[in-house]
Amino acid sequence: MTCIVGLVHNGKVYMGGDSAGVSGYNLTVRADEKVFINGEFLMGFTSSFRMGQLLRCRFKPPYHRPEVSDYEYLVTDFIDEVRNCLKQGGYARNDNGEERAGTFLIGYRGKLYTVECDYQVGIPDDNFAAVGCGDLIALGALYASEGVGPMKRVNQALEAAERFSAGVRGPFVIKSL
């Protein structure tokens, strides 16, 4: 379940996440945070705590060659290393020959990106994005709160998702990079 919200404001990325761990009708509020910093990356995950643990504790971002754009780096070297990390950690799945993982947001060098379960890297046209079961609620709150400060905007989006989604619970963790 989950709600992870990312927002770019004045060249800085803000990201917030909830604390719900959901399995069927069972909900556990977890202390291990879904939003964290790994080197130059701000990351927030949904899908699986195991995936998040690997991204946080095992993943080592590869060197970014200066002649390569941020986007090209992310869709090649970065994703290749994410795939290796998730495979070695026993998380990546193979569905009929197609490798799949989970969904997460990344903030990198002042920009926000989404990584989908098929490892595609997306660049939101808006200055915000959300993933998880509360994503559409959070997106609506982000859209409607233009002009509000970034920390408050992220928090309001998470509060809206908590209010209207059974799979989202505080406390919320908000970080910036």
Tell whether 114 is covered by a domain. Answer: yes
Tell whether 122 is covered by a domain. Answer: yes
Tell whether 174 is covered by a domain. Answer: no
Tell whether 10 is covered by a domain. Answer: yes
Helix (H) or strand (E) holding 52: helix 49-57
Tell whether 175 is covered by a domain. Answer: no
Q: How many domains does the chain have?
A: 1
Tell whether 116 is covered by a domain. Answer: yes
Tell whether 137 is covered by a domain. Answer: yes
Among 16-20, 62-66, 94-98, 158-162, the range scoring the smallest mean pLDDT is 94-98
The residue among 21, 35, 32, 26 whose CA lies nearest residue 174 is 35
Could you tell me the CATH number of the domain that includes residue 136? 3.60.20.10
What pLDDT is stored for residue 98 in this prediction?
A: 87
Q: Could you report the per-residue pLDDT of 67-95, keeping only the tens digit for each?
A: 999 999 999 999 999 999 999 999 988 87
Q: Could you report the per-residue pLDDT of 89-140, keeping only the tens digit for each?
A: 999 888 788 888 999 999 999 999 999 999 999 999 999 999 999 999 999 9
Q: Which residues of 67-94 are buried (b: 16+ CB within 10 A; e: fewer)?
A: eeeeeebbbebbbeebeebbeebebbee
Give rounded-to-5 percent helix, strand, coil for the chain: 30, 30, 40
Domain span holding position 158: 4-169
- Provide the edge-to-edge strand list for the sheet that holds 12-17: 128-131, 4-9, 12-17, 173-176
Tell whether 177 is covered by a domain. Answer: no
The single-letter DSSP state of residue 61 is P
How far is Cα 46 from Cα 52, in angstroms, rounded to an integer?
8
How far is Cα 29 from Cα 48, in angstroms, rounded to an integer?
14
Q: Read off the pLDDT band of 1 (50, 70, 90).
A: confident
The residue among 78, 122, 115, 113 whose CA lies nearest residue 100 is 115
